[in-house]
Amino acid sequence: MNRRFLVGLLLLWSLGPLLWQLYTSFCSDQALTQPFASIDQRWTLIHYRNVLTANPPFWRYLVNSLLVGLSSTLLCLVLALPAAYALNRIPCQLSIMSRLALVGAALFPYVLLFLGLLEFARGLNLGNHLLALSFPYAALSQPLAILLLNNAFNDLPPELEDAAKLEGLTLFQRFRWILIPLISPATASTAILVFLFSWNEYPIALTWISDSSKLTLPVAMARIAGSSIYSVPYGAYAAATVLGSIPLVLLVLIFQKPIVSGLTSGAVKG
Amino acid sequence: MTLQIQNLGRRVGKQWIVRHLNLQVDNSECVALVGPSGCGKSSTLRLIAGLDSVSEGEIILDQANVTHAPATQRAVGMVFQSYALLPHLSVKANLDLGLRVRGVRASERQQRIQAILDLVQLQDRSEVLPAQLSGGQRQRVALARALLRDPDVYLLDEPMSNLDAQLREELRPELRRLVLDRHKPVIYVTHDQHEAMAIADRIAVLHSGRIQQVATPADLYHRPETLFIAKFIGRPQINCFKPKDGAICAVRPESLFFANEGLPCKLISREWLGSSQLLYLDSPHGSLRLSCSTTMEIPETVHVSWHSSDEHHFDATTGRRLT
Amino acid sequence: MIMNQIHFLRRILVSLIVILIASTCFGLVQARTTESVSFLMAAPFADATQDLVKQFNREHRGEIHLHVIKGPLETEAMSDLAISSLLLGKAPFDGLLMDVTWLPKYAAAGWMEPLEGYFKQNDVDSLATGAREGNSYNGHLYRWPLTADMGLLYYRTDLMEQPPETPEDLVEVSQSLQKKRKVNWGYVWQGRQYEGLSCVYLEMIDGFGGDWIQPDDNQIGLNLKPGVEAAAWLQGLIDQGVSPKAVTNYAESEALQSFKVGDSAFMRNWPYAWAELQKSDSAVKGNVGITTMVAEPGRSTATLGSWGLTVIKGSEHVDAAVEAIRFLTNDSAQKQLFLKSGYTPTQQSVFDDPELLQQSPILAEFGRALKVVKPRPETPLYAQVSDVLQRQLSSILTGEQTPRIGMDRATSNTNQILISAGDRP
Amino acid sequence: MIAFLLLPALLLLLVVFVGPLFRYAWLSFHADSVVTGLIAIPNGGANWLRLVQDQRFWQDLGQTLRFSGVSVGLELILALMIALLLDQRWRGRDVVRTLTLIPWALPTTVMALGWRWIFNTPYGPIDHFTRMIGIGSLNILGDPHFTWMATVWADVWKTTPFAALILLAGLQTIPVDLYEAVRLEGGNAMVCLRRITLPLLRPYILLALLFRLAQAFGVFDLIQVLTGGGPASSTESVALYAYWNALRFLDFGYSATIIMASFILISLICVVAWILLQIIIPTHSKSQAVVEP
């Protein structure tokens, strides 16, 4: 009984604000100003229509974020996998030091890097190139990715690779046939966490992208917030919030296992 | 085809894991490496396989110096204690992988895998994942993989220690058949001296990273070079008397017999071993182990004696054998 | 028979090719002659100029197409948007509607196209004198004013014959009215810690004969006698009860609210307040007069706030953009904006238009105020400099420090900013 | 070969993490603003002198510390409670755990927009609630007294699931027989919490604390979208101030100085927090003394 109450409270706390947005998004402007009064025309889809037919349409931001997320994840894994493997093959003390440095980098509030990265983008003309964002994203998620994958490599029995060496497999062949398949669960966890990070990242995207058709979802949301010209724009905000949340809610529901195991393994071993 | 290691050593930091190893293994010969855990058996094997780097000395395989050749280029077939089968690949794919990267044609691969599966009697399990096999079957797959490699030397790293005792005895003759018929040098690492004596032509005893003695099982048993070997080889363990004049006298439990005259002993306990029984006795020279026939009735107090030819003498400080 | 058929086919083929070539040429000509120009404007301006833009596009069909990008509602957010584009290189717009305080920053950054080649001396002469301010930086003209804005002193014509002219007068009139219980408060203004407070202060420091940043030697005048007097006077208004304590949290809307319900005798505000005060829900409708800020004799000023159009450097359509700017700022456009949206004009001829003056006589007052406008310090570091001033003023007004100390601090902080940003050694 | 594998990642990390820090340190001794045409010119320690005098920076720093301290503290307490709830075995637990993760996974800006509506005066549900219970309208996003609390609320909502998950992972490593041993000796739930749970959870609490403290100190997205730093810069964080200095004031030199100062401060804070926590939470050995007398 007591527990049921607590669980209810927990769910209300976690999901209440989201459900309120969902409710708001279907309310007419009139209904919004009097949320608990009874009004004839309470329900409407107009906010969704507005958001989806705006210029550029809302789904464009989702596509942009998806592209950036995928390319960043790919780049991050391509770099982190060999590095995580090599971290086990360097002298022990050096390896421990590098792992400590990586933990420090993972803790670092990366928002402070925005200025350096902005100068970088200016210097190399990377601004307003959507895929160029994968470069800082891959770098920023590198510490976590290397740590997680390194844990996974550590957990592999070394004989598997030794046996493959004796079979004559080169390093690349060992990666292809043994290491990559065997750490695929950890790789999946890492990939999802990196994807989440890239999808949600704000300050770097804010400074690197200004062209409205190339915005990623978080920046687009912030710009919607700043640029609204409606008197009560919250119906449209809420519709945008709901549309922006759906992909991630689905992602969490589908991939909850790898996400939890990724976060947990980072915590337990890091 | 012979394997020769000369003055081999490996150092990690300032510590020598193994050092001054000298060993020659001939064609069709099986040498067992035995010793307590941490004595450097597996390290030696890994040096020969090329999995660890050599700090000093040389490894010569069929007159070619392979001391610093990478593992991928040495023709070494190795069976690991944990079998090291790839859990995500079927038995067939496990066997196929090495052949494929070595560039064997598909049809030939198929044929050779089939043949080797027949040999290890796993014809019907080729599509199965390793997790679905029993321990003995996994071990045979691991062996099959080593055989397929057609190596110049076989290295077996405690291949049976994960199996239960009964299975081990069953597999031993099979292992001999499969591996020794290949007419290649074989090194067999085990911590089980029975297994070593059963399977090996010669046994090398390692202690703290050094080889103490290399000899046939019989020699090792009857003429142990050091006190350590005398104690390590042979069960029940050899009896050591208290040092006298800088020498230790040791007598095997089965060399002791009851006599009317001799060392007066008190029976402490007895263990029944089926074909024999082991008596724990308390004597003026310390406690003694004696094995004798089960039919014998043992009184509380006995007198024990032995032939002086059965005595082994060792230097009390160096542990070396005194002739 | 067959010959005929071939002939016929050939004729069709030839005519098809001719049509194809002709249409391509036509398309090319069409494409070449229609230049597309885009301006970024804050949302209210984009809405206000909607009709004018349509008109422009009608008149320039086939030549120029003007497209207005509607920016955010808040002006600061719009500047952020523009800067983030400009910092990364090529901006997705050709022109930008810019506040007077942004210009030095954008110009110093080299983002603006100089316009003196397009707007000649006679163009400049046609502007009202006040509207000529704040369009140039370092001797180059970068901005052409769309609408002017200036700080005004609103007073109650039902309570006094003549508005006060000096600071002492204002206090005196207020106190006597308060004593007679005609009003609760004498004077409401913008005392919150934000840009409005800097505008209020600018009018006072000039009124006491000083300068925020002295134009001749670029020295800071905040801690000189007039600067301290101005701060002390504002603080004194609260101490003497002429202004409510809450004025330290007033922005334009709060001041307007107080004045509109008849609570106060004087208010400092911008021209937009006039229209608000003439609405039917206003308690002072018809009883409001406008003048410029009180000051020592002959020193009355009005803080200049104005919006103007600029062309971004690197734009490929400078000529077309200038053409559009000319259209949006010409006499008839300004009349239209004034009548429809209450935007103060910038062309002198509009102020002199007898028809318009008859329609809304208040225009004359706006015109008078525009003659004494004073721009805020024209430095690219204005935003930081103003922030420092607002902070110190705010804590002076709430009694946390004396005017003397506060202004000393403001001066040293301002100097520090100018040094650290490389403005002075 | 190994170096070849490490090099790309190492290079990227150096460029993105170490490069900017060195650049900031260098820039902080230069004037690099719109006045200099965004070209760095040495100006001695002028930036640092300005920083010392800059009231806005110190105000922002105070606000940032208040925000970090309060929100991380609340978060850890809440996260511990959630973790304890989720550590027990009951039907539907996994589903609930997944659902509580959702706030963490959403982009900050998305829900910052949502919170703007929830805290809206007078139409948001919170305002309705306060009027309903008779407190009256609070003007949450317009009154500096309340706005920072709104930012804390939104931050706690978003980041608690992460901390809860880490603590939950820690809870699941604690063997059940430890609790049983204490119970057998007559200890109640409080004793269990103080003597077993907290000490054994310490590394996890430390991890969550350090990670969250560093992230909270760099709070940016939430504030920028929810309040824009206002009203009257009462919620502005140092990260946001640094951002304004670069992208609004075009003063890269000073922005770099602010960031450098923040970096030094956050490093110090993490060290201090770590030491403090070592002192506050009883150590391992004491707890074992109870369990194994």
Hey, are the CB atoms on B72 and A166 less than 8 Å from each other?
yes
Which is it for the CA torsion C205, C206, C211, C212, positive or negative? positive
Q: Which of C194, C384, C413 sits opposite D249 (nearest CB)?
A: C384
Residues from chain A contacting residue C43 (CB–CB below 8 Å): 227, 229
Chain A residue closest in CA terms to C42: A227
Residues from chain C contacting residue D116 (CB–CB below 8 Å): none
Query: From the CB coordinates, do chains C and D have 3 or more pairs under 8 Å?
Result: yes
**DSSP string spanning B21-59?**
EEEEE-TT-EEEEE-STTSSHHHHHHHHHTSS--SEEEE
Query: Which chain C residues have any C-beta within 8 angstroms of a chain A C-beta?
Result: 43, 47, 70-74, 77, 80-81, 84-85, 87-89, 92
CA distance C328 to chain D (A): 28
Please give the pLDDT value at position C27.
Answer: 58
Residue D231 preceded by cis peptide, ω within 30: yes
Query: Could you confirm whether domain C150-303+376-420 is CATH 3.40.190.10?
Result: yes
DSSP state of C131: G
**Percent over 90 (pLDDT), chain C:** 62
Please give the pLDDT value at position A263.
Answer: 80
Neighbouring subunits of C (3+ Cβ pairs under 8 A): A, D
Q: A107 pLDDT band (50/70/90 cuts)?
A: confident
| Residue that wins the pLDDT comparison between D25 and A41 | D25
Mean pLDDT is lowest, of C22-26, C217-221, C240-244, for C22-26
Please give the pLDDT value at position D291.
Answer: 34
Mean pLDDT across D41-68: 93
Domain architecture of chain D: domains with CATH: 44-291 (1.10.3720.10)
Q: Is B61 on the interface with A (CB under 8 A)?
A: no
CA distance D226 to chain A (A): 9
Please give the pLDDT value at position C4.
Answer: 60
DSSP state of D282: P
Alpha helices in C263-361 (DSSP H): 272-277, 318-329, 331-341, 348-351, 354-359
What is the model's pTM? 0.86
Among all chains, which residue has been given the structure tokens 């000899």? Answer: B215
Chain A residue closest in CA terms to D253: A115
pLDDT at D286 over 50: no
Please give the pLDDT value at position C201.
Answer: 96
Hey, are the CB atoms on D113 and A224 less than 8 Å from each other?
yes
Q: D42 pLDDT band (50/70/90 cuts)?
A: very high
Hey, are the CB atoms on D218 and A112 less than 8 Å from each other?
yes
| Strands C64-70 and C35-41, sheet pairing | parallel
Residue ranges matching CATH 3.40.190.10 in chain C: 34-149+306-374, 150-303+376-420
CA torsion, points B100, B106, B107, B112, in degrees to nearest 10? 20
Residues from chain C contacting residue A125 (CB–CB below 8 Å): 89
Domain architecture of chain A: domains with CATH: 19-269 (1.10.3720.10)
Over residues D184-240, the pLDDT tens digits come to: 888 788 888 888 888 888 888 888 888 898 899 999 999 988 888 877 788 999 999
Hey, are the CB atoms on A166 and B86 less than 8 Å from each other?
no
Please give the pLDDT value at position D282.
Answer: 59
Neighbouring subunits of B (3+ Cβ pairs under 8 A): A
Contact A38, A258 (CB under 8 A): no
Q: Which ranges of chain B have pLDDT less than 50?
A: none
Chain C residue closest in CA terms to D53: C413
Query: Could you confirm whether domain B238-322 is CATH 2.40.50.140?
Result: yes
Hey, are the CB atoms on C89 and A128 less than 8 Å from each other?
yes
CA distance D258 to chain A (A): 9
Hey, are the CB atoms on A218 and D10 less than 8 Å from each other?
no
Q: Which of D85, D106, D218 sits opposite A109 (nearest CB)?
A: D218
For an interface test with A, which of C41, C45, C84 has the most A Cβ atoms less than 10 Å from its Cβ? C84
Residues from chain D contacting residue A251 (CB–CB below 8 Å): 105
Among all chains, which residue has been given the structure tokens 């206090």? Answer: C171
Chain A residue closest in CA terms to B84: A160
Over residues A243-267, the pLDDT tens digits come to: 888 888 898 888 888 888 888 776 6
Hey, are the CB atoms on A167 and B84 less than 8 Å from each other?
no
What CA–CA distance (Å, rounded) separates A211 from A227? 14
**DSSP string spanning C242-289?**
SS-GGGGG--HHHHHHHHHTT-EEEEEE-THHHHHHTSTT-TTTT-EE
Please give the pLDDT value at position C25.
Answer: 62
Mean pLDDT across D272-285: 71
B3-228, what's its fold?
Rossmann fold (3.40.50)
Residue B62: what residue type?
Answer: D
What CA–CA distance (Å, rounded) separates B89 from B95? 9
Q: Is A163 on the interface with B (CB under 8 A)?
A: yes
| Strands C35-41 and B301-305, sheet pairing | unpaired
Q: What is the mean pLDDT of chain D?
A: 87
What CA–CA distance (Å, rounded) separates B127 from B117? 11
Query: Which chain A residues have any C-beta within 8 angstroms of a chain C C-beta?
Result: 118, 121-122, 125, 127-128, 206-208, 210-212, 223, 226-229
Please give the pLDDT value at position D51.
Answer: 94
Q: To 5 degrees, how large is the angle CA B148–CA B150–CA B152?
A: 150
Hey, are the CB atoms on C421 and D254 less than 8 Å from each other?
yes
Q: Where are the domains of chain B?
A: 3-228, 238-322
Q: Give the number of A-D residue pairs with CB atoms closer than 8 Å.
A: 246
Q: Give the number of C-D residue pairs with CB atoms closer than 8 Å.
A: 83
Please give the pLDDT value at position D281.
Answer: 66
Please give the pLDDT value at position C320.
Answer: 92
What CA–CA distance (Å, rounded) separates A37 from A42? 10
pLDDT at D283 over 60: no
Contact B49, B72 (CB under 8 A): no
Please give the pLDDT value at position A229.
Answer: 45
What CA–CA distance (Å, rounded) separates C153 from C162? 12
| Residue that wins the pLDDT comparison between A269 and C100 | C100
Please give the pLDDT value at position C8.
Answer: 64
Mean pLDDT is lowest, of C69-78, C311-320, D153-162, for C69-78
Mean pLDDT is lowest, of A231-240, C17-26, D143-152, for C17-26
Over residues C357-410, the pLDDT tens digits come to: 998 888 999 999 999 999 999 999 999 999 999 999 999 998 889 999 999 999
Residues from chain A contacting residue C45 (CB–CB below 8 Å): none
What CA–CA distance (Å, rounded) separates B196 from B186? 12
The phi-psi region of residue C196 (left if phi > 0; otherwise alpha if psi is between -120 and 50; otherwise beta) is alpha
Hey, are the CB atoms on B72 and A169 less than 8 Å from each other?
yes
Over residues B175-220, the pLDDT tens digits come to: 888 887 888 899 999 988 888 888 889 999 998 888 989 999 989 8
Q: Which of C74, C84, C89 sits opposite A207 (nearest CB)?
A: C84
Please give the pLDDT value at position A63.
Answer: 93
Please give the pLDDT value at position D192.
Answer: 82
Q: Is D199 on the interface with C (CB under 8 A)?
A: no
CATH C-level class of C34-149+306-374:
alpha beta
CA distance C376 to chain D (A): 16
Neighbouring subunits of A (3+ Cβ pairs under 8 A): B, C, D
Hey, are the CB atoms on A118 and C87 less than 8 Å from each other?
yes
Task: For chain A, positions 43-102, list CB contacts with chain D under 8 A.
Answer: 79-80, 82-83, 85-87, 89-90
Mean pLDDT is lowest, of A244-248, C324-328, D135-139, for D135-139
Contact B180, B106 (CB under 8 A): no
pLDDT at A38 over 80: no
Q: Which of A113, A146, A256 sits opposite D9 (nearest CB)?
A: A146
Residues for chain D: how many in total? 293
Per DSSP (E only), the strands in chain B are 3-12, 15-25, 30-34, 56-61, 64-65, 76-79, 153-157, 186-189, 202-207, 210-215, 239-240, 247-251, 257-272, 276-283, 286-293, 301-305, 312-315, 321-322
Among all chains, which residue has been given the structure tokens 């210009």? Answer: C103
* Structure-block tokens of residue C254: 């709060």
Q: Is D232 on the interface with C (CB under 8 A)?
A: yes
Q: D151 pLDDT band (50/70/90 cuts)?
A: very high
Over residues D109-121, the pLDDT tens digits come to: 888 888 888 888 7
**Percent over 90 (pLDDT), chain B:** 26
- DSSP element (H, E) containing C148: strand C143-150
